[in-house]
Chain A
Amino acid sequence: MDIRRHRLENGLRVAVVPIPGLLSAAVLLAIEAGQWFEPAGRPGIGRLTAQVMLRGTTTRDAKTWADALDGIGAAARLDVGSHAATFSAQSLGSDLDVLLELMADAVVRPAFADKQVELVREQTVAQIEEDAKNTRAVAESAWRKLVYLKGHPFRARPIGDLEVVRGAKADDLREHHRRAIRPDGAVLVVAGGVEAKQVFDAAEKAFSSWRAGGPHEESKVPDARLTTAVRKLEVVPDKTQSDVVLGWPGLPRTDPRFIAARVTNMVFAADTFASRAGHVVRDELGLAYYVFSTLGGSRGQSPWVVRMGVNPINVDRAVSTTLEELRKIVDGKVSQDDLDLAQDKLVGELDVARESPAGVASLLLEGEVFELGDDYAERYPRELRAVTLGQVVEIARAFLPPDRHALAIAGPPLPDRD
């Protein structure tokens, strides 16, 4: 990949991959303003701040800003995750300068008008109430409470706690914006039908006035640790399927073992066809429609979880089968073929992702956000290939102890226990 880089004076790093022959460009602006950077004990402030940023600036009201974005036909969204607040967008390459200017307006000059704060607050409260009836959301919330202590940034989902959302004032959001929405640590990645110089010039013009609002504050977060197996069942009325989250606290993306952990995740349960648990639970035993695991990447211990959608009568069997597959890995009963398959899959996906501008931008993002080196894109496949069976076993033993897991189930009552 032809990656060009540039750094603005304010610290914003820009990476561009021009892809000749395409009309559009994908844009990812990742700001270190995810849950990890939220004020302690105030889950939901980050997402509220981000959402109100989309509802009017000091130069354009919400309607004018929305008209301008739709006027160039761009698709855009702003999500808050465990590590970053990520503004992702796509526009025609010829409209990129307008798109970046609109994104910068929202990010740098949000108005935080009281009326808009109220609107977003009420929308968020409604969503939290709806999520209380959504089995996937309920299972995830329950799982987080089993694993992370009060005050831990990952104890709640990014949407936050009802009380925090209800009590947040416009000034709280302004303060979080000042502290966390900052160019140092932020990355702008663009891939598609654009020239690198065009992007650098447009980024300079749009973002050069962005300033950090004070020094970086490091979070001091206690370790999350499971000392035994813990389980929580949440009954949600009028549901037919149970959603299951089985998992462990993960490891920071900056941990040198992270690549080995990613390979371990693929060996274990990341994919239905390439992973042991997915293959056995769905394909061999037909116990679930979906089963997959994810390992989050952040500065902290993001969730490392297996998710399943299972009929209530099959929950215990699906969970015990998954843990059995994990035990085999922990006991070293994992074959070279399992490892080869996982590595082939992870490396092969990198090639296939190049089919779209958004795929190419995503390939770059992680290396840029965590400053993994200018040669990371080239090095990464080699590092995946270099992981050994011994490392997989070691990682599973260290991070996925089968007897010390957290299990959350949401859905109808389970037949054998309730």
Chain B
Amino acid sequence: MHALEARHAPVVSLWVWYQVGGRNEVPGTTGMSHFLEHMLFKGTPRHPKGDLDKLLARYGALWNAFTSEDVTCYFETVPAERYPVALDLEADRMRNALITVEETEAERNVIVSEREGLENDPSFLLGEQLQAVAFARHPYAQGVIGSKEEIKLMTRDGLYAHYRRHYAPNNAYFIVAGDAPAEELLDRAASAFGPLEAEVPIESPKAPEPPQYGEKRVIVRRAGGALPIIQIGHKAPRASDPRAPALSALAVALGGATAGGGEAASGRSSRLYRALVDTGLATTVDASFNLMKDPYLFIAEAHMRPGVTHDRVERVILDELDQVARAALSDEEFGRVRRQMLSASAFMTDTITWRAFRFGQLLGTGAAASLGEWYDRLAAVTAEDVRAAAESVFREKGRVVGWFVPESS
């Protein structure tokens, strides 16, 4: 349990991070952690479905949940005086969720609908295929939401067993940030979660990804998009790797701190924006390095102008990646990258919800033990660190290239 004081607004944000996600699933049950996340909103014996929903709505709470490859996360941001209510909700549903057959059936339709909404987006379809091709053994290949067929096969008993196994105090991080002394925030949390019993410890999944011996490629052809898309992934280290801060800086150098394109005015000095958007080859670009528990991907993405060929944009992107791996950024360019990265860090921690999120993300992935440590590591990155990180990651033997090719209707 960790607490951060944030005294600029009468608000508290609390987060429970369960160490279970797509990474803990096996073929046939993929999507189970995400399905379970939905079921945690269906009530407990003490708080029947709808009771706490309405109560939190009355407080104007910002509250939700998400599931990733690594974790399942629940949060509430509430007026400070409502902190005990949100704590009570989270402590109760950590062990006492009902998960009935009837609610499982009703929610299955909602999750299928969520999946179908994602399938409408060509970028999601390509990303899902890219991930599946990139990993031969590691469960990151499976993604998070699962296939429609698997969602339809999910059983109440399977979900309940998954719940009882993974939802316990010894498999969760609790983070709170808000308008009270840290000790007081922690004391209250300890009272709520202290009585809950631990479960049998869970071993981390062991399915290390074997070496890759050459570039992999995937093509998705659909009529559901007008613009061609390209995604180029490279195998990248986990969040706890010493190169992680430099790779975060590399993503800013290539794509800006905010995704470039459309209405965004910032990030336009980035390498990919200059090479692809300013030249009229693409409408938007992005570069991302995600903090993950296990080695994942550094991804560059471009949504291309109609009529521009994938070959051409792929060559431009690979050339930019090659250049950034060969020569360190100039002082001027690196200065911009550093300011964007450090400012973005301040923007995030100036919002109480995101301050708590960021802390949980760093702890949960092993990136850093505190916000201060991570900031210091970002601040210590040099231009040469960025170049060296690029050189270590942008290799043909770790590459996966995905093309979305629009088909005529």
Contacts and interface: CB of A to CB of B under 8 A. Distances in A.
Nearest to A54: B265
A238 B223 contact: yes
Interface residues of B, number: 80
Given A78-B263, A192-B350, A271 B8 contact: no
Interface stretch (A31-39, A64-72, A166-174): A64-72
A58 B107 CA distance: 57
A224 interface: no
A239 B224 contact: yes
Taking each of B60, B108, B111, B351, which has the highest tally of chain A beta carbons within 10 Å of its own beta carbon?
B60
Interface in A52-79: 54, 62-63, 66-67, 69-79
B59 interface: yes
Interface string B226-245: 11000000000000000000
Contacts of B107: 286
Contact of B266 (A75, A122, A192, A287): A75
| Minimum-distance CB pairs A-B, first 9 | A348-B60, A73-B343, A73-B339, A356-B351, A66-B268, A238-B224, A241-B116, A349-B60, A344-B58
A358 B258 CA distance: 16
A274 B350 contact: no
A119 B280 contact: yes
A385 interface: no
Interface stretch (A19-27, A201-209, A253-261): A19-27
A135 interface: yes
Interface string B120-140: 100000000000000000000
A201 B113 CA distance: 52
Given A77-B264, A237-B409, A311 B116 contact: yes
Nearest to B409: A237
Interface stretch (B9-17, B91-99, B180-188, B381-389): B9-17
A40 interface: no
B409 to A, nearest CB: 4
Contacts of B202: none
Contact of A66 (B58, B113, B224, B269): B269
B346 A345 contact: no
Interface in A350-401: 350-352, 354-359
Interface string A261-279: 0000000000101100001
A123 interface: yes
A320 interface: no
Interface of A: 19-24, 51, 54, 62-63, 66-67, 69-79, 87, 89-92, 106, 119, 122-123, 126-127, 129-130, 132-135, 192-193, 236-241, 243, 271, 273-274, 279, 282-290, 309-311, 314, 340-341, 344-352, 354-359, 411
B57 A71 contact: no
Contact of B226 (A54, A130, A192, A354): A130
B113 A288 contact: yes
A70 B336 contact: yes
A139 B368 CA distance: 45
B335 A71 contact: yes
Contacts of A354: 9-11
A123 B276 CA distance: 12
Interface in B24-73: 49-50, 53-54, 56-62
Nearest to A308: B113
B250 interface: no
A343 B108 CA distance: 32
A72 B347 CA distance: 13
B339 A345 contact: no
B109 interface: yes
A241 B119 CA distance: 8
Contact of B57 (A78, A239, A271, A314): A271
**From DSSP, what is the main secondary structure of chain B's interface residues?**
mixed
B172 to A, nearest CB: 23
Nearest to A22: B350
B225 A133 contact: yes
9 contacts: A19-B9, A66-B269, A74-B343, A76-B264, A240-B120, A273-B56, A287-B109, A311-B112, A355-B77
B340 A126 contact: no
Given A90-B347, A288-B110, A352 B268 contact: no
B283 A126 contact: yes
Given A75-B347, A126-B305, A274-B54, A70 B106 contact: no
Contacts of B227: 126, 129-130
A75 B258 contact: yes
B56 A77 contact: no
A67 B120 contact: no
Contacts of A71: 269, 335-336, 339
Interface residues of A: mostly helix, strand, loop or mixed? Answer: mixed
Nearest to B340: A73
B347 A129 contact: no
A236 B347 CA distance: 39
Interface string B321-345: 0000000000000011001111110
Contacts of A345: 57-58, 60
A240 B148 CA distance: 11
B116 to A, nearest CB: 4
B339 A76 contact: no
A242 to B, nearest CB: 9
A331 B269 CA distance: 57
A123 B283 contact: yes
B114 interface: yes
Given A23-B350, A355-B351, A286 B343 contact: no
Contact of B117 (A241, A279, A349): A241
B57 A274 contact: yes
A358 B353 CA distance: 13
Contact of A282 (B110, B269, B341): B110
A77 B263 contact: yes
Contacts of B269: 63, 66-67, 69-71
A133 B226 contact: yes
Given A132-B226, A283-B49, A345-B58, 8 more contacts: A73-B257, A75-B266, A76-B266, A77-B264, A286-B105, A344-B59, A346-B60, A354-B9
Given A73-B342, A122-B305, A24 B11 contact: no
Contacts of B225: 130, 133
B116 A344 contact: no
B401 interface: no
Contacts of A288: 110, 113
B224 A341 contact: no
A51 B263 CA distance: 7
Contacts of A126: 226-227, 283, 305-306
Contacts of A91: 343
B11 to A, nearest CB: 4
B61 A72 contact: no
A280 to B, nearest CB: 11
